[in-house]
Structure 1
Amino acid sequence: MSVIASQDVHVDTAKGRLYARRWDPAGAAGAPIVLFHDSLGCVALWRDFPEQLASETGRAVIAYDRLGFGLSDPNPATLVRGFIEEEADGDFARLRDALGIGPFVAFGHSVGGGMAVNVAARHASDCRALITESAQAFAEDRTVAGVADAKRGFAEPGQLDRLKKYHGEKAAWVLSAWVDNWLSPEFTEWTLDEALRQVRCPVLALHGEADEYGSPAHPERIAALTGGRHLLLENCGHVPHREQGRVVLDVVGQWLRARD
């Protein structure tokens, strides 16, 4: 394994301070990989995957907590439809300016995959590759049902404490931002189609065949509209980088090296 140096970074924005962490392997080369977390996620919930990804690819890896999540400041706004698209010119743009990120690779998990797609579309001249993992490309019945089940689960006594471990007193806001959007009538017609058609870089869409929040129709649609590749992982659910981390690292590493 390469020697990895890591550092915490704080980025001031007009709405609050963002927390980020970067991992730099010795002799890093190539565009850095920027990670976009899921609806309930944060830097800490990537666990050791960013360091492993940096070691596997020889690239710097940068992960950040969106405003309202993890160690970033509370978000004073209520997230509404459009928040996925707005990330490209929101927190990501602030992070990119602060860290001096030029060309980059976008890697997003779940709703972070949708954000990565929009980032790749809006920053097409600098996005060298796009990797989505368990991304939702549209509001599918399976996705809505999975979110509804999760909402009921978090209503049980003590369950919100699971989120407080990572988000502190922001936990209720984090949960609401997820369930209220996906279960709202306004979200039923949401898709990534427009953004996908604007992506110009190579695309790899990873998806667990047993993903409880989305069928294989999602990676198929991502690949079809971008001319990219999709890969279904057998016996895998919604979090491939945790459930089949070695497989994800191997696939992503080989795929990126083939494009160097």
Structure 2
Amino acid sequence: MKLRATGSLTIDSAELEYRLIGPQPSAAPCIVMLHEGLGSVGLWGEFPDKLQQATGASVFVYSRAGYGSSSPVALPRPLDYMEREALTVLPKLLDAIGFRDGLLVGHSDGASIAAIYAGGRQDHRLRGVVLIAPHVIVEDVSVTSIAAIKATYETTELRTKLARWHRDVDNAFYGWNGAWLDPQFRNWDITGFLAYVRVPVAVIQGSDDQYGTTRQVEIIQEECYCPVAVTMLPGVGHSPHREAPEATVKTIADFAAATLSSAASQS
């Protein structure tokens, strides 16, 4: 199936919006981008375009169910929603787009999904993962910040601003926020997947991330047996691709050049 530049894919019962920049995923190495807990295709902004220009790869961006213009989801979300996304939805999506080989690049929730996929599915097509501000455990600072943004959403113009990017903004916000603030979610822990990751990992973390500490990075380094390259960005918060786009693009492009060329030389 040849993909258009924009469109939607039917995965199970959901319609997922997508955007493709560059070659078809079946014809070239592909970078599949996984957005944050309140993200969407549109909220990536120009970052996918800059990444495509820097790498020459195919770049595929999509909105998970409940986000952007994709189908809404039933609330409350199950507390293992990231595991379900990684192990049930993402494999079908990669097959549907004709993914031949390439990278997963995830931010926040998307980074967690990428890590779960890499450890939970031994996919020979996957050459590496880039984890931007990843979560592998729940920290106090995460819960505190997520509780604060709930109050902001309900008392300021944040809801109106987010509604520009989500067809059903309450479905997007409360699906994410409600799961993270559920007391049982404090037990969420995906470190068990890390030991099974068999591809290189690049972690990009802001030193001032308000949603997670460097403990997240340390756990990834401790638990992974594969190479882990860490880029700490001073003075940057939870969104390096927005706050330090040039440094973030360069880090990913350098990682892509090393991992994809290495894979090509071994094939």
- TM-score, with normalisation over the residues of structure 2? 0.89
The question of 1:10 aligning with 2:8 is answered: yes
Give 2:44's aligned residue. 46
For residue 90 of structure 1, the aligned residue among 67, 88, 91 is 88
Percent of pairs identical after alignment? 28
**Displacement, 1:6?**
7.4
The question of 1:137 aligning with 2:136 is answered: yes
Give 2:231's aligned residue. 231
For residue 34 of structure 2, the aligned residue among 26, 36, 39 is 36
The question of 1:156 aligning with 2:155 is answered: yes
Deviations 1:133-184 (A, max 9, x none): 011110000111110111111110543112211112x111111112111111
Identify if the C-alpha distance between structure 1 residues 13 and 138 changes in structure 2 by more than 3 Å, giving closer, same or farther.
Answer: same
Q: Distance in 1 between matches of 2:69 and 2:169?
A: 11
CA contact (8 A) 2:28 2:100 kept: no
The question of 1:126 aligning with 2:131 is answered: no
Q: Distance in 2 between matches of 1:254 and 1:152?
A: 39
For structure 1, list consecutive stretches of 5 or more residues without a partner in the other structure. Answer: none
**Displacement, 1:258?**
2.2
Give 1:253's aligned residue. 253
Identify if the C-alpha distance between structure 1 residues 65 and 133 changes in structure 2 by more than 3 Å, giving closer, same or farther.
Answer: same
CA RMSD in angstroms comes to 1.9
CA contact (8 A) 1:36 1:63 kept: yes
Deviations 1:97-148 (A, max 9, x none): 2211132311100011000111212332221101000111100001111101
CA contact (8 A) 1:29 1:58 kept: no
CA contact (8 A) 1:131 1:205 kept: yes
CA contact (8 A) 1:11 1:94 kept: no
| 1:70-109 matched pairs, under 5 angstroms | 70-76=68-74, 78-109=76-107
Aligned length: 254
The question of 1:243 aligning with 2:243 is answered: yes
**Displacement, 1:204?**
0.6
Q: Distance in 2 between matches of 1:34 and 1:157?
A: 33
For structure 2, list consecutive stretches of 5 or more residues without a partner in the other structure. Answer: 262-267
CA contact (8 A) 1:24 1:59 kept: yes
- TM-score, with normalisation over the residues of structure 1? 0.92
SS in 1 for 2:85: helix
**Displacement, 1:14?**
2.9
